[in-house]
Structure 1
Amino acid sequence: MKDTKKLVVAALMAALTCAATMVIKIPTPTFGYIHPGDGLVLLCGIVLGPVGGALAAGIGSMLADIFSGYLSFALGTLIIKALTAAIAGLVFRRIRAVRSGSTGSSYAGIITGGVLGELFMVAGYLFYETMLAIISGSALAAAFTASAAGVLFNIVQGVVGIVLAVILFPVLYQIPNVRVWVTGK
């Protein structure tokens, strides 16, 4: 990252992502939880760009897993949430570029980038949880079946994240530096 402000904001976004993931938890029957952290993950990619956003989102989400006792998920979360933010940031920027940066392009970018990013998140956790189960001694079919039980809850979490990103983006966009980082102007 080129400037100190952006580095500080990235650290702040990582901390907010961690806090949003940890503070409000809705437990699921699969021993996971639904949280608003994915909204911050998407905003990390959108506001900070694919690289800075990936680092902030991945680190903040990984720290939430570590602090919440989900240590076996920390590495997977780092990678999955970083790539989720990167996908959202890349798609957001591409749509804004194609549509000349209109207000509608921001929302289209958030929603499209959010959907693609969150679909990656759902698939990423399905794969990661399946691999964890296989490492623990489960057969592939049993591991996949057990992991697939969490897909619906991850989809709900993704939808919540997209809605929060759409709601919070206009607030963040009012900050002059954020506007410059998002528009490149």
Structure 2
Amino acid sequence: MKVKRNFENPTVNLAVTGLMAACVFVATYFFNIKIPVGGTDKTMIGFANVFCILSGLLLGPVSGGLAAGIGSCLFDLLGGWASSAPVTLVTKFLMAFFCGLIAWGGDGTAKKLSRVIVAAVTGSLSYCAMYLFYSWAKLALVGSAWQAIQIQLAVKAPATLINAAIADVIGIPLFYVLRGALKRSGLSYR
């Protein structure tokens, strides 16, 4: 399978992937509202997923996935969630990977609005499912009572769905703005 990437120059692709990882980290760190859900567990509503989805749309599945996963993992390592950093690396990678895979399917570029919408929604909802499953499994494995699990998931589910909606509503138009600017500058978008 040939890796599809938007920036043909590997150095430029690496630099833009790093830039998007930094955007994911900054959005996660500075633009969030923390919601305590009992004990030491917490969740957030914020703009990180906007940049994860944007990474998949702009960079394609692999580079976009790396940007989303690495940026989110770095936040976990530095922001007090180090124990969940490996899971975050994988789940955020997969969110952007699925988004990029669908958006870039067929002709190798994200062009059609309908394809971009399906890609963004699929990426966001796949992350919601993975995050909620991980939250449930973590609580179940430590022996939490079913009622405690239900209460925590009752808080986490709406927060993660709000994050998904924010990611898609902001990420899709932002993608088209950035895509147009990249095209006009001659940097990208065949």
Place the TM-score, normalised by the shorter chain, in its bin. 0.7 to 0.9
| 1:25 and 2:32 are equivalent in the alignment | yes
1:162 to 145, 168, 178: 168
1:148 to 125, 136, 153: 153
RMSD over aligned Cα atoms: 2.3
How do 1:88-103 residues align onto structure 2 when only pairs under 5 Å count? 88-94=99-105, 97=107
Paired residues in the alignment total 175
* C-alpha contact (below 8 Å) 1:18/1:60 kept by paired residues: yes
Q: Which residue is 1:65 aligned to?
A: 76
Q: CA offsets, 1:51-85, max 9 Å, x none?
A: 11111110101111222111222111111110000
| Sequence identity percentage | 33
Q: CA offsets, 1:148-184, max 9 Å, x none?
A: 221111000010011121231123211146633xxxx
Distance in 1 separating the partners of 2:19 and 2:33: 24
* AA of the residue aligned to 2:153: A
How do 1:30-41 residues align onto structure 2 when only pairs under 5 Å count? 30=37, 31-41=42-52
Write out the 4+ residue segments of structure 1 that deviate beyond 3 Å after TM superposition: 141-144, 176-179
1:131 to 137, 148, 168: 137
Distance in 2 separating the partners of 1:143 and 1:112: 34
| 1:109 and 2:118 are equivalent in the alignment | no
Indicate the structure with greater helix content: 1
Structure 2 unaligned residues grouped into runs of 5+: none
* C-alpha contact (below 8 Å) 2:110/2:116 kept by paired residues: no
Q: CA offsets, 1:89-124, max 9 Å, x none?
A: 011123x749x975xx1x323321111111111110
Q: CA offsets, 1:1-57, max 9 Å, x none?
A: 761001000011001111011111122353211111101101111111101111111
2:18 to 11, 19, 39: 11
**TM-score where L is the length of structure 2:** 0.82
Distance in 2 separating the partners of 1:70 and 1:53: 22
SS at 2:144's partner residue?
coil
Structure 1 unaligned residues grouped into runs of 5+: none
1:54 to 58, 65, 75: 65
* C-alpha contact (below 8 Å) 1:62/1:75 kept by paired residues: yes
